[in-house]
């Protein structure tokens, strides 16, 4: 990918699953990666995994729903005077279940992490990009936010908000050298997917049903998403902004 070498990237939820795959790919492309995660132990373990492959990574420990603590953590990460060139808003959380049976605190948590947390990070990082007149923001949403998903109403609502926010920010920042795009993973083999499937009651049947809906007849791997993120983070997409791409094996072909 063009233009990724020596760039400073921040990946939220970067300690596992899709997030770690993104960190490893960006580091392999020559970025120094800040792995932002709620768990200090997991963030340090992820940094070790990146370093083992010859990459550079730094742990950034913060709760993205806590604006003040988040701002301090990101400030420490950029204390050397460097500006974050690439922001990947990947952190997310889901809880499968019928919406009308969920307590309000649960769906508020889903919105807080998946939507408001992403807005918090962007609000803190974007001014630096504006000051340097360049940057890439890649937001990880979900096809649930494009077409809906039974049992994931709150999650779909949050991810739909991520998509709308991205398009709006893309318009606001288009003349400032900053591209903002969305990547929507379909069913991807991660611990979060495993939790969602297991909560469905008949996990084996659900997996079989999902596979029948995927033309490529396989679930996505975190690396499938990481490659697309690296593309959107690169200079190869200098004239692309406000776009939404599904990484779903053809499951959702939204025009």
- Which amino acids are annotated catalytic? 155
Half-sphere exposure in the Cβ direction for 217 (13 Å, CA) = 0
* Alpha helices for the chain (secondary structure H): 17-28, 40-52, 67-77, 104-111, 117-132, 144-147, 153-173, 191-198, 203-213, 222-233
Whole-number Å distance between alpha carbons of 212 and 32:
39
Whole-number Å distance between alpha carbons of 225 and 186:
9
**CB within 8 Å of 198: residues ≥ 6 apart:** none
**CB within 8 Å of 115: residues ≥ 6 apart:** 158, 159, 161, 162, 165
Instruction: Scan for tokens 């807005």, then name that residue.
Output: 119
Please choose, from the candidates 81, 78, 86, 74, the residue with its C-alpha nearest in 3D space to the C-alpha of residue 7. Answer: 86
Task: Please give the structure tokens belonging to residue 63.
Answer: 């709760």
Please choose, from the candidates 193, 227, 188, 229, the residue with its C-alpha nearest in 3D space to the C-alpha of residue 90. Answer: 229
């Amino acid at each position: 990918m063009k233009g990724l070498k020596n760039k400073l990237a921040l990946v939220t939820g970067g300690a596992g699953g899709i997030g770690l795959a993104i960190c490893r790919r960006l580091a392999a492309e020559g970025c120094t990666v800040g792995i932002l995660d709620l768990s200090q132990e997991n963030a340090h373990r992820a940094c070790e995994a990146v370093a083992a492959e010859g990459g550079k990574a730094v742990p950034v420990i913060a709760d993205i729903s806590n604006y003040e603590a988040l701002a301090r953590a990101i400030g420490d990460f950029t204390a050397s005077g460097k500006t974050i060139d690439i922001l990947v808003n990947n952190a997310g959380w889901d809880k499968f279940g019928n919406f009308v049976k969920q307590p309000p605190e649960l769906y508020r948590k889903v919105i807080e992490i998946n939507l408001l947390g992403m807005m918090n990070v962007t609000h803190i990082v974007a001014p630096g990009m504006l000051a340097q007149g360049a940057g890439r923001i890649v937001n990880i949403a979900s096809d649930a936010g494009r077409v809906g998903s039974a049992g994931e109403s709150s999650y779909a609502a949050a991810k739909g908000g991520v998509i709308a926010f991205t398009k709006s920010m893309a318009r606001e920042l288009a003349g400032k050298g900053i591209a903002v795009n969305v990547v929507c993973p379909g069913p991807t083999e991660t611990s979060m997917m495993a939790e969602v499937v297991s909560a469905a009651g008949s996990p084996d049947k659900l997996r079989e049903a999902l596979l029948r809906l995927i033309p490529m007849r396989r679930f996505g791997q975190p690396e499938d998403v990481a490659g697309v993120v690296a593309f959107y983070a690169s200079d190869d997409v200098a004239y692309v902004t406000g776009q939404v791409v599904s990484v779903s094996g053809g499951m959702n072909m939204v025009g």
